[in-house]
Amino acid sequence: MATDLVRLSCTSKGTTARASSTWKHDTRKFGPLNALNNNTEDAWKSAQSEESDPLAYFEIDFHRPVQVNELRIQYQGGFVGMDCIVYQKSGDETSDWEECEDLFIDPIDSNEVQTFESEADDATSDKCSALRIEFGRSTDFYGRIVIYSLEVWGTE
């Protein structure tokens, strides 16, 4: 693993985020960028999931090629996204999402920051321009997910 990791998910570097939903459609208070801003008073809060479409997702667009080495996620306990699958885009916005075979997220229901390291070899793995985390379910009865902090660390 690389030793000089930098935080790739900084909005000051042009990184943007979007999500499947936002609580009460209030993106200022609960939008996905709140999970990237490094302020634990803010959070992304998803809306309640519908039985017909329970899948929630969180996307991070770096707008540049990066090498992802780890994710650090702080959920609100009781509102944790589970059964996660990570996808990546290796090109521009027209590229298709491909499952990231080297990054496995298996969170526990906790308020603590959880670190998930990539198993990829830096020398052979592809750079990506965006990440997408799909949540198959939530620990919340109503399917809501709350992320206080989502940091992507790696190299540029």
pLDDT tens, position by position, 72-91? 999 999 999 999 999 999 87
* R_g of the chain computed on alpha carbons: 15
* Predicted TM-score (pTM) of this structure: 0.91
Determine the pLDDT at residue 60. Answer: 97
User: What residue type is assigned to position 141 of the chain?
Assistant: F
Look at the block and give the residue holding tokens 């990539």.
Answer: 118
The CA distance from 75 to 36, in Å, is 13
